[in-house]
């Protein structure tokens, strides 16, 4: 399994109410990179991520994943492509009343015949795969627990296991640790880092804290008001760049 | 002497108290007009409540002695030949020896005469009735009595003018006096009313069950079409959404009683019409509740599962269904409660169930039988209310 290459060209998204969320965004991601996207709330990070797997339809511009033009795909082709794009969310987005195991198995739905859903049927090898992925994120004993019984960090790990079920080549992580405490943030990000380092999965990860961005990112992309305002190495984001990205009044908060 | 500072002038005039503001006064006058008109138009007349007490008393009294059990009835009868024409001799009738006897001062009498009737040898402490029987055998009640501890009684009657039969000759004057004493005997058995009420209350419960079940089967798929967040994504979907919602709103606004009238015309009197009426109304009521529930689910899981490449069906099954099942169950139980109550009155318009016989009892002034039905309704509705509360607590 090899990470996917991502190329975004002149991507623009204007919402029906006239808000311009993304303005002519272009960048390249090489396979296996861990790209951290930083920027204020509302700077377009979430919109960018959702345009890449077309949960949100871009207004104009092109997105290439391994030279496949995502924006030109039909709905059915897009669904097939989504199987290889894992997504992790700030609010975890688990089905709270379902078991952890079912939540993880949901990551595999794109590979299974839809009719099986009517009978809630998953083949034994998929269940085994789900248990293996839960093992990998360190909570195998929680398989039968209801998802809303878990702590935030555990829920996010279920989210990672669900993404792993897709055998993804690209992971979109939309502020995966913004709802977690600092210690848990590190443990969750370490799992994401491991997927990136060990499996070579390309990661696009929105993070608020610069310290976390410097620690985990191999590259940083900064958005401000829907535009890319900085692109470079994590270590190069100094006080001056920080104020460019976050505005003059911003003060960097350390998280260790 | 201390110098007192003059009171500081307020910078702003204090606001007028709420009750003297113009807006409040206008509102007050408006409300008074509304309620005065309402009082008139609904003909509220509190004195009727007092005047009507005597009419409602038998019903209230009978409410506390419902017809639930009865014994067999046994009777004693004695007849005595009488004549209302001095020229005609009364019929001779031989009573069985040792049995009860009727005595009158004279067996020849006249219409309008007062007659002291006495009897002996009847069952002690029983109630009886005296009938005047005309020549063709039609009895007319002339007195009621109660026998004493020795089985004797005495009562004064007025000889009535009766139909003398086709021949107005002498035989027309030959009439009879009949005394009948009845009493209950034998073991206590469920009364016929109770058996009928039981049969009808079972019909009522199943009427509600069938109506609710049919409604669930139809409302679940419809509710997904009527949920904005799932359906109204393109012009076709939006049209389907509005059509479904319009159907829900229109059907919901028609009371099941009115629907039952329509269905009794369509499929005839009986419980089937009631089932259809309850089902149609409940489809709309449940469909609206269901689809509003679907609209209020968390969008996050839908987004997450769609992002894995799942199809629409899989998204509904794994992101929507788990979120809506508990509220669906709660709404369904609530609807079942409502339908049980509704099915008790749907018989008033011929839709089957206990309402049908309850209405008949009331119309025939058989208040004790009506009371049996009323108590049965109260018991069953309360029991099912309790049951559904227990189920709801377990599930939700």
CATH number for the domain that contains residue B332: 1.10.3720.10
Contact A89 B325 (CB under 8 A): no
B73 DSSP β-pair partners: B184
Q: Are residues B176 and B270 in the same domain?
A: no
Residue B99 CB-density burial (10 A; 0-12 exposed, 13-18 middle, 19+ buried): exposed
Query: Does the pLDDT of residue A126 top 60, yes or no?
Result: yes
pLDDT of residue B168: 63
**Residue B87 placed within a domain:** yes
Domain boundary among B189, B210, B245: B189
Whether residues A110 and B319 touch (CB distance < 8 A) is answered with no
Q: Look at residue B38 and tell me if it is in a domain.
A: no
pLDDT digits (tens, 9 = 90+) for A221-242: 988 888 888 888 887 777 777 7
Nearest Cα residue in chain B from A53: B307
Report the 10 Å Cβ neighbour count for B37. Answer: 10
pLDDT for res A253: 65
Closest partner CB to A89 (pick from B300, B309, B319): B300
Say whether both B311 and B363 belong to one domain. Answer: yes
**Which residues does A91 contact at the CB level (< 8 Å), separation at least 6?**
A179, B300
Both tokens assigned to A208 = 């608020």
Residue A40: pLDDT band (50, 70, 90) is: confident
B325 domain residue, yes or no: yes
Distance CA A8, CA A27 (A): 5
Q: Do the domain assignments include residue B43? A: no
The 10s digit of each residue's pLDDT in B281-337 is 999 999 999 999 999 888 899 999 999 999 989 999 999 999 998 888 888 888 888
Neighbours of B338 (CB within 10 A): 17
Q: Give contacts of B301 with chain A, Cβ < 8 Å.
A: 93-96
B272 and B250 in a common domain:
yes
Q: How many domains does chain B have?
A: 2
User: What residues does A219 pair with on adjacent strands?
Assistant: A35
Question: Which of A168, A163, A188, A164 lies closest to A178 in space, CA to CA?
Answer: A188
pLDDT at B8: 59
Nearest to B301 among A94, A107, A108 (CB): A94
> What are A46-85's pLDDT values in tens digits?
999 999 999 999 999 999 999 899 999 998 999 999 999 9
Q: Which residues pair with B234 in a beta bridge?
A: none
Nearest to B309 among A80, A92, A97 (CB): A80
Looking at the partner chain, which of A82, A95, A96 has a beta carbon nearest the beta carbon of B309? A82
Measure the CA angle with vertex A72, ends A71 and A78; round to 5°: 75
pLDDT digit string, tens, across residues A157-177: 999 999 999 999 999 999 998
The answer to whether the beta carbons of residues B231 and B224 sit under 8 Å apart is: yes
Q: Map residue B184 onto helix, strand or coil.
A: strand
- Contact at CB, B308 and A82, closer than 8 angstroms: yes
Q: Which residues of A touch B304 (CB under 8 A)?
A: 87, 89, 93-94, 106, 159, 162
**Spatial distance between the Cα atoms of A246 and A39, rounded to a whole number of angstroms:** 7
Whole-number mean pLDDT of chain A? 89
What is chain A written as a DSSP string? Answer: --PPPEEEEEEEEE-TTS-EEEEEEEEEE-TT-EEEEE--TTSSHHHHHHHHTTSS--SEEEEEETTEEGGG--HHHHHHHHTTEEEE-TT----TTSBHHHHHHGGGGGGS-GGGGGGT---HHHHHHHHHHHHHTT-GGGTTSBGGGS-HHHHHHHHHHHHHHT--SEEEESSTTTTS-HHHHHHHHHHHHHHHHHS--EEEEE-S-HHHHHHH-SEEEEEETTEEEEEE-GGG--HHHHHHHH-TT--PPP--
Choose one of B135, B159, B189: the last residue of a domain: B189
Of B307, B318, B325, the CB nearest to A55: B307
Domain boundary among B173, B189, B205: B189
* Chain B residues near residue A109 by CB distance under 8 angstroms: 305, 308-311, 314, 318
Q: A117 or B18, which is more confident?
A: A117
Residues 6+ apart with CB under 8 A from B146: B125, B126, B127, B128, B153
Which of the four pLDDT bands, split at 50, 70 and 90, describes residue B230? confident
DSSP string, B283-309: HHHHHHHHHHHHHTS-HHHHHHHHTTT
One domain for residues B212 and B323: yes
Let me know whether B210 and B269 are in one domain: yes
Question: In this structure, what is the dihedral angle of CA atoms A157, A162, A163, A167, given to the nearest 10 degrees?
Answer: 120
* Residue of chain A whose Cα is closest to the Cα of B302: A93
Residue B177 tokens read as 């006096």
B75, B161: one domain: yes
Per-residue pLDDT at B1? 45
ipTM above 0.95, yes or no: no
Instruction: Quote the pLDDT of residue B385.
Output: 86
- Give pairs for B32-36: CB < 8 Å, separation 24+: none
Looking at the fold, whether B387 and B255 belong to one and the same domain comes out as yes
Q: Which of B300, B303, B308 sits opposite A83 (nearest CB)?
A: B308
Interface mutation target, options B301, B303, B317, B319, chain A, most CBs of A under 10 Å: B301
Residue B108 has pLDDT above 80, yes or no: yes
| Residue B198 sits in the same domain as residue B185 | no
Q: What's the confidence (pLDDT) of residue B135?
A: 85
Residues of chain B with a CB closer than 8 angstroms to some CB in chain A: 298, 300-301, 303-311, 313-314, 317-319, 322-323, 325-326
In this structure, the answer to whether residues B185 and B242 fall within a common structural domain is no
In a mutagenesis test of the A interface, which of B293, B307, B313 is the best target, namely the one with the most A β-carbons within 10 Å?
Answer: B307
Residue B5: band (very low, low, confident or very high) from pLDDT cuts 50, 70, 90: low
Specify the CATH number for the domain of residue B85.
Answer: 2.60.40
Q: What percent of chain B has pLDDT over 70?
A: 95
Helices B321-345 and B354-363 sit at what angle, rounded to 10 degrees?
20
Q: Are residues B219 and B289 in the same domain?
A: yes
pLDDT of residue B95: 75
Assigned domain for B32 exists: no
Instruction: Using CB atoms, pick whichever of A80, A87, A111 lies closest to residue B304.
Output: A87
Report residue A43's pLDDT band, with 50, 70 and 90 as the boundaries: confident
Residue B6's pLDDT is 59
Query: What value, to the nearest 5°, has the Cα angle with vertex B308 and ends B303 and B312?
Result: 65
Chain B partners within 8 Å of A92 (Cβ): 300
Please name the residue of chain B whose CA is at the shortest distance from the CA of residue A98. B322
Range of the domain at B90: 71-189
Section B8-30 average pLDDT: 78
**Structural domain contains residue B157:** yes
- Please check whether residue B101 lies inside any domain of the structure: yes
Contact check, Cβ <8 Å, B318/A102: yes
Query: Do residues B88 and B213 share a domain?
Result: no
Q: Which pLDDT belongs to residue B302?
A: 92
Which domains, from first to last, does chain A contain? 1-84+168-256 (3.40.50.300), 93-166 (no CATH)
Residue B339 pLDDT > 60: yes
CA distance B326 to chain A (A): 10
Indicate yes or no: CB of A97 within 8 angstroms of CB of B309.
Answer: no
pLDDT at B91: 84
pLDDT greater than 80 at residue B191:
yes
Pair B225, B136 in one domain:
no
At A256 the pLDDT is 57
Residue B40 lies in a domain: no
């Amino acid at each position: 399994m090899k990470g996917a290459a991502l190329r975004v060209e002149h991507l623009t998204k204007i919402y029906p109410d006239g808000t311009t969320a993304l303005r002519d965004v272009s960048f390249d991601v090489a396979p296996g990179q861990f790209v951290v996207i930083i920027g204020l709330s509302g700077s377009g990070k979430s919109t960018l991520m959702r345009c890449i797997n077309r949960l949100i339809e871009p207004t104009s511009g092109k997105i290439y994943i391994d030279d496949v033009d995502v924006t030109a795909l039909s709905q059915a082709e897009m669904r097939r492509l989504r199987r290889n794009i894992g997504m992790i969310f700030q609010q975890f987005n688990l089905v709270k009343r379902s078991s952890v195991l079912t939540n993880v198995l949901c990551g595999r739905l794109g590979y299974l015949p839809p009719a099986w859903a009517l009978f809630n049927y998953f083949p034994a090898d998929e269940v085994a795969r789900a248990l293996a992925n839960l093992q990998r994120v360190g909570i195998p004993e929680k398989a039968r627990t209801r998802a809303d019984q878990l702590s935030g960090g555990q829920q996010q790990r279920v989210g990672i296991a669900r993404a792993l079920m897709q055998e993804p080549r690209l992971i979109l992580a939309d502020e995966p640790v913004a709802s977690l405490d600092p210690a848990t943030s590190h443990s969750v990000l370490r799992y994401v880092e491991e997927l990136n380092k060990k499996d070579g999965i390309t990661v696009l990860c929105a993070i608020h804290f610069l310290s976390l961005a410097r620690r985990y990112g191999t590259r940083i992309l900064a958005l401000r008001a829907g535009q890319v305002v900085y692109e470079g190495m994590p270590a190069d984001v100094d006080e001056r760049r920080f104020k460019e990205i976050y505005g003059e009044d911003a003060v960097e908060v350390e998280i260790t | 002497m201390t110098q007192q500072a003059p009171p500081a002038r307020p910078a702003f005039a204090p606001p007028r108290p709420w009750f003297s503001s113009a807006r409040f006064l206008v509102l007050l006058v408006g409300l008074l007009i509304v309620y005065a008109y309402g009082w008139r138009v609904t003909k509220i007349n509190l004195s009727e409540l007092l005047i009507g007490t005597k009419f409602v008393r038998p019903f209230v009294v009978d409410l506390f002695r419902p017809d639930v059990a009865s014994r067999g009835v046994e009777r004693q009868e004695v007849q005595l030949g009488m004549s209302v024409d001095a020229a005609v001799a009364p019929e001779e009738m031989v009573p069985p020896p040792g049995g009860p006897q009727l005595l009158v001062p004279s067996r020849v009498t006249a219409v309008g005469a007062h007659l002291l009737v006495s009897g002996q040898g009847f069952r002690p402490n029983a109630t009886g009735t005296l009938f005047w029987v005309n020549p063709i055998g039609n009895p007319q009640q002339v007195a009621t009595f109660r026998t004493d501890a020795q089985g004797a009684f005495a009562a004064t009657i007025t000889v009535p003018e009766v139909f003398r039969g086709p021949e107005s000759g002498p035989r027309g004057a030959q009439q009879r006096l009949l005394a009948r004493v009845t009493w209950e005997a034998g073991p206590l058995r469920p009364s016929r009313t109770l058996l009928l009420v039981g049969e009808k209350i079972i019909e009522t419960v199943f009427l509600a069950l069938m109506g609710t079940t049919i409604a669930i089967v139809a409302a679940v798929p419809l509710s997904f079409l009527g949920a904005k967040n799932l359906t109204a994504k393109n012009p076709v979907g939006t049209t389907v959404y509005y059509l479904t919602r319009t159907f829900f709103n229109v059907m919901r606004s028609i009371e099941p009683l009115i629907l039952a009238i329509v269905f009794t015309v369509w499929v005839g009197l009986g419980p089937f019409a009631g089932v259809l009426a309850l089902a149609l109304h409940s489809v709309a009521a449940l469909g609206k509740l269901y689809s509003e529930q679907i609209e209020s689910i968390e969008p996050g899981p839908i987004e997450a599962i769609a992002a894995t490449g799942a199809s629409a069906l899989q998204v509904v099954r794994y992101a929507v269904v788990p979120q809506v099942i508990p509220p669906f169950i709660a709404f369904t139980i609530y609807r079942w409660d409502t339908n049980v109550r509704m099915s008790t009155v749907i018989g008033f318009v011929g839709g089957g169930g206990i309402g049908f016989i309850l209405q008949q009892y009331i119309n025939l002034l058989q208040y004790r039988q009506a009371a049996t039905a009323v108590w049965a309704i109260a018991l069953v509705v309360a029991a099912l209310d309790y049951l559904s509360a227990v189920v709801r607590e377990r599930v939700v």
